[in-house]
Chain A
Amino acid sequence: MMTSYVLIPLLPLFSFIVVGLFQKWMRGLAHLVCVPLVFASFGMSLLAFIDVMRGGPINFDLYEWIPVGDFRPTFGIMIDQLTASMLLLVTLVSSLVHLYTVGYMHGDKGYDRFFAYISLFTFSMLALVMSNNFLQLFFGWEMVGLCSYLLIVHWYERGPATKASLKAFIQNRVGDLGFALGIFLIWVTVGSLDYGTVFAAIGEHQGETVSLLGMDVSVITMIALLLFIGAVGKSAQFLLHSWLPDAMEGPTPISALIHAATMVTAGIFMVSRCHPIFNLSPTAMTVVALTGGFTALFGATIALTQNDIKKVVAYSTMSQLGYMVMACGLGAYTAGMFHLLTHGVFKALLFLAAGSVIHALSAEQDIRRMGQARRYMPTTYWTMLWGSLALSGIFPFAGFFSKDEILWQAFNAGLLGKGLWLLGLVVAFMTAFYTFRVFFMVFYGQDNMDKEVKHHAHESPAVITIPLVVLAVGSLLVGWLGNPLFGTNYVHRFLQPVFHSSVSHVPEEHAGSLPALTATAFAGETDESGAAHEGVPMEGAPMEGAPMEGVPMEGAPMEGAPMEGAPAGMSENAGVAAGHAMAAAPHAAGAAGEHAGGHSRGLEMLLMALSLAVAAAGIYMAYLWYYRPNPAPAQLAATYQVLYQGSLNKWYWDELYDMVFVRPTMRLAHGMWRVADEIVIDKVLVDGVAITTRIGGEILKFFQTGRVQHYAMVMSLGICVIFIGFFLL
């Protein structure tokens, strides 16, 4: 029965194969195959989710992929709480996007191809999240990159699409290179690529080092950083970010599905998945947190001034991904995943709504040539409003809860966290501002539409609006699952077994309640891994990431907590348990902190109010400037030319890359080919040998007169010389 969950990824794969092979005969009917199957996949994900909630993680192998000696990676399925929540997100958004596509891409030349590709993407993404080992993760990782590439280039006859696809693939490949090296290092260090084995054993390798450019770096830090490079590429973090905005050349459903809700979050998913590794390396965690924080700010500053509706949403995605990465870097994986889920919903909504606007306005994307659109498209207007409120983090929409969770965790996470919290607040302000800048410019403001466009402006058909409404409702409701104020924080409770223990080894009854689990972890640490833990100072674990400050260490008394809480298996298999406990120890601290957070509800409420106020301020500013035509923004731009131009031109990052990487590479390639290959190696060395031979022949040919008598003469002289030599010597 369990094994039937393999159908979750296989159903979309099946529709890809059918539509792909019989594309010629589909004639715009591909959705009849794809849509039902992806909905079926969603249904099965729901079942899997319930199964996991009730019965704990599912983990099985399908077959060995590359069996060589000790290297035996498999294709397998693992559905734990983390995967289950990703499954729901991926299949839900994918289903809605499939539905939306029916309307949005109607009449497109590549309609069937498009369906084939989004089905393939859905398969790849599911293979990625459902993997139980690193190699399959890599498989999904690259496959989603391929799908992203193929879908960006969907309108290949437009020049920028081809270029954007190239950029996306290559930048992702750079990230993948890091990721692959990380996998190599894991294999070399641990001797396995299976999640369970790796996470259980990685703790034993603390203190081991690898040499990097002459320096000795902790092997765990190195692994974490290399894996993180992969995440940087996939999640468009700073330095490998510039492909994401360009990827907006693809059709809008793709932007919603791949470049907002699912693929780009793979990086966050991966970091969360590998938290046992990251947790052991404070250095890596700091890098992750800083990268995330900086990207959040970086993306937001660019989004402020963009005029293409999709670009704004794209940069906002980058910025929000930064938030999530930052959360992961601070050890608040639950918060990061929570934001990932809510963001998946409301950002998909925003993209789809933006797509609806674009669709209605005859493919117009420039917000300066929109305005007053609410008259034509009330449903889109309302859903977009909800999405914008959610993104801005306004109570009671989803973004409010998840973003606040991240900020709260940051605030509690030491000095670094405090800084990032402040940064997060600034970004929250910007987010609210640019989101509503777009909103007001599109739906209010001055009516700048072309006459022709206005004439055709219309509300989108039901296949487009239904997904919008579903997602809008979702972006209102989904946040309450992680509501810290009243009742239970379901997201925390659900994800706990993943983040507060090693993967898939904790029985459900222990995962069920937080104190018991914390006790388990602590007991495990103090009693069993005490010896193993010696020599590793507690600072070695990212305690600084754990929000201890100002909060009395509620977890501390648990040292004395009754040992009944610990599973019996732990003492039976001390070795394994020690490994688990070591991986679990920092989480326990984190968990204690998070748990303890509940007790300082007053402070948390205060901070919530603060961030709400900041968001409201952002919206108000947008309202002032863009609700009605207002010269203020233009004046401001004129005053701060440098900043404005910088933001408008994405801080010239594309130009920089072009100058530093693209052009020198091409020039070097051409130069090397012309000089080194064609001239030095081929002409001088290879042909040189031939030419030397020929010159030798040219010289010797003068001795070749063709007259018999000359030859005979030389022969006789030769004989004489030999004889003389023979007799004299």
Chain B
Amino acid sequence: MDHLLSWVIFIPLLGAFAALAIRDHQTVKVLALVVTVGDFILSLPLWLNFDSTVAGFQFVEKYAWIPTFNINYHLGLDGISLLLVIMTTFLAPFCVLCSWHAIADRSREFMINLMVMQTAMIGVFCALDMALFYVFWEAMLIPMYLIVGVWGGANRVYAAIKFFIYTLAGSMLLLVAMTYMFFKGGNTFDIPTLMNASFTPQAQFWLFLAMFVAFAIKVPMFPFHTWLPHAHVQAPTAGSVILASVMLKMGTYGFLRFCLPMLTDASLSMTPFILSLSVVAIVYGAYMALAQSDIKKLIAYSSVSHMGFVTIGMFVYNQLGIEGAILQMINHGITTGALFLCVGIIYDRRHTRDLAEFGGLARTMPVFATCFVIFSMSSIGLPGTNGFVGEFMVLLGAFTYDRLTGVLAATGIVLGAVYMLYLVARMIWSECSNPENQKLADLDLREFAILAPLVLVVFWIGLYPAPLLEVMHSSVLHLLDQTGGLAGAPVVAMK
């Protein structure tokens, strides 16, 4: 099929337009489910037909869009973005399913938002033209703003505005950087072309700084993370899932796509700074998570900690680190998404997220408890689950690059266990003393259909990650070539 990538991107948007014409809420839900599942199925050939021996972009589509400014509609996938696209399409049906009953009010509009969102998110990962990238990047904000602001919790407007303004402020700097690169990089927004452009170290420094702020806010890196807990707590379940699983990855994806290959010198010289911030994020995020009594907030802070691993992995300039970082992005998407889905499931029943309200769910909701423990273990990074593979690769990569960073980051595996097990102990184990909890029903079929595939993926990536790693190899090695990391960074001679 020609233009496969375009179809994958725009089918959700078409679905959204179709939904506009339909009045009935139930029909729109079904439509959204069909569209997202269809989109996922459609995206699978991307993976199956992906040639993992090629380092460059595949499924490329290029058409002139705004010739005056040399802006093209340029799409393509490489080993870095492929899995992120698959993950996005994979998670979308769950977002629809988890909102099935939870969003009772204006569910038609909600589904439309989800679908528009989907288009923008996939677009970000596929765009090979900075202007196009920027359009998708900003387009993503609006549905998310509405999802948090309209369907959120009590304090939703504050959270939504904070999220919107904060990320927008970052995006402005990105726009400035883009414009500069357009003029200095040969009047083009084309990403592959710009990867070969060379900027002066001075310019690189400022460009890096601008992009760093834009991406660091999205990741979010310490200390740009404070919008995250607000947004997560207020967002409806589907919003949290999208936010945690996909939107946070945009930041790290940006680092990989722009900073490392285009601003190589600046990246290298800023590495100690990024690594320090990441280590702080890991430890700090874990500590913050430990202090929370709101389940969603706890998981939100754990995201800060986990994304710290990703940013470390990217900036250690070896194959283990970068592939680990990409895998960790996927893992975090799956695991944290799943945890938010779990929280959504009990929120639907109890309408509270206060940890003190829960306890002994292992007795009343055994299937739920099992899934929750599995996802927690994945979050902790227990071998056999997906969390371990990514975390171990990143840590090993970091340790190879710089011992101290590796050691400090590795403390995260203890701290992660502390806050996560604390959560599990309070929620799943311990006494079922609250009468409200004693009559809770276990998962129904819909909820089981949400969690079961995620459990399978957790173990699949945990035990046999080779298919995922394989598609990355060429692209990552190419990226390393571009950064000159193999030469510039202290890499131990391997036998």
Contact = CB atoms under 8 A, between A and B. Distances in A.
Report A-B touching, CB under 8 Å: yes
Interface of A: 23, 63-71, 135, 138-139, 141-143, 146, 149-150, 153, 156-157, 159, 161-163, 165-166, 169-170, 173-174, 176-177, 180-181, 184-185, 187-188, 191-192, 210-211, 665-666, 668-670, 672-674, 677, 681-682, 685-686, 690
Contacts of B465: 65-66
A436 B162 CA distance: 69
Question: For the complex, would chain B's binding face be called helix, strand, loop or mixed by DSSP majority?
Answer: helix
Query: Which of A170, A184, A670 gathers most chain B CB within 10 Å?
Result: A184
B52 interface: no
Given A66-B392, A157-B432, A188-B400, A677 B226 contact: yes
27 contacts: A65-B465, A67-B470, A68-B320, A68-B473, A70-B494, A71-B320, A138-B383, A139-B383, A143-B382, A153-B429, A156-B360, A156-B428, A156-B430, A159-B431, A161-B429, A170-B418, A177-B410, A185-B399, A187-B396, A187-B399, A187-B400, A670-B291, A672-B291, A673-B292, A674-B291, A677-B226, A682-B226
A64 B166 contact: no
Given A138-B383, A159-B430, 7 more contacts: A65-B465, A66-B393, A162-B429, A169-B417, A665-B290, A672-B291, A674-B291
Interface in B399-415: 399-400, 403, 406-407, 410-411, 413-414
Contact of A177 (B320, B413, B473): B413
A159 B362 CA distance: 14
Interface in B403-446: 403, 406-407, 410-411, 413-414, 417-418, 421-422, 425, 428-432
B466 interface: yes
B468 to A, nearest CB: 10
A338 to B, nearest CB: 30
Contacts of A686: 162, 166, 226-227
A681 B288 CA distance: 13
A112 to B, nearest CB: 11
Contact of A165 (B166, B226, B319, B429): B429
Contacts of A69: 319-320, 473, 494
Nearest to A23: B366
A184 B469 contact: no
Q: Which 5 A-B pairs have the closest CB atoms?
A: A156-B429, A673-B291, A139-B383, A682-B226, A669-B290
Question: For the complex, would chain A's binding face be called helix, strand, loop or mixed by DSSP majority?
Answer: helix
A502 B287 CA distance: 44
Interface of B: 162, 165-166, 223, 225-227, 284, 287-288, 290-292, 319-320, 323-324, 360, 362-363, 366, 373, 377, 382-384, 388-389, 392-393, 395-396, 399-400, 403, 406-407, 410-411, 413-414, 417-418, 421-422, 425, 428-432, 463-466, 469-470, 473, 492-495
A146 B377 contact: yes
Nearest to A149: B421
A666 B289 CA distance: 11
B267 to A, nearest CB: 21
A162 B466 contact: no
Given A68-B320, A156-B360, A177-B410, A669 B384 contact: no
Contact of A188 (B287, B413, B492): B492
A681 B228 CA distance: 13
A191 B360 contact: no
Nearest to A676: B284
A152 to B, nearest CB: 10
A664 to B, nearest CB: 11
Contacts of B373: 150
Given A166-B425, A686-B166, A173 B362 contact: no
A111 to B, nearest CB: 13
Contact of B464 (A63, A162, A674): A63
A674 B292 CA distance: 10
Contact of B413 (A71, A176, A681): A176
Given A66-B465, A165-B425, A177 B414 contact: yes
Nearest to A169: B421
Given A156-B360, A177-B413, A672 B288 contact: yes
Contact of A681 (B226, B389, B414, B473): B226
A139 B389 CA distance: 11
Contacts of A674: 291
B393 A68 contact: yes
Contacts of B407: 181
Contact of B494 (A65, A143, A191, A669): A191
Given A67-B469, A157-B360, A669-B290, A170 B417 contact: yes
A690 B406 CA distance: 37
B417 A173 contact: yes
B407 to A, nearest CB: 6
A170 B421 CA distance: 9
B113 to A, nearest CB: 25
Contacts of B166: 686
